[in-house]
Amino acid sequence: MKKIMNRASAPTPKFFKVLRTVGLTLAALGGTILAAPIALPVLATTIGGYAAVAGGVLTAVSQLTITDDSQ
């Protein structure tokens, strides 16, 4: 658990910072579609759910990626 916490607080490479931002945006978009106050077609809510999950996974993986300067 301590290793994961160290990875999460370590500096993230620039490319993965961009991916993290894309993931956060995708998750927010999916959440907005799912929480829409109007009835949406089933396809739209399905896409919203997949977008929210994909954005969350992309954000988590990007946040835990660190540079390895040992090479």
Q: If you write DSSP's letter for every residue of the chain in order, what string do you get? A: -HHHHHHHHSPPPHHHHHHHHHHHHHHHHHHHHHT-SS---HHHHHHHHHHHHHHHHHHHHHHT----TT-
71 located within any domain: no
69 located within any domain: no
pLDDT of residue 18: 94
Quote the CA–CA distance of 62 and 11 in Å, as a whole number. Answer: 11
pLDDT of residue 69: 67
**How many domains is the chain built from?**
1
pLDDT per residue rounded down to tens, the chain (71 residues): 778 888 888 888 999 999 999 999 999 999 999 999 999 999 999 999 999 999 999 999 998 888 876 55
pLDDT of residue 19: 95
Q: Which amino acid is at 25?
A: T
pLDDT of residue 66: 85
Q: Which domain holds residue 23?
A: 2-63
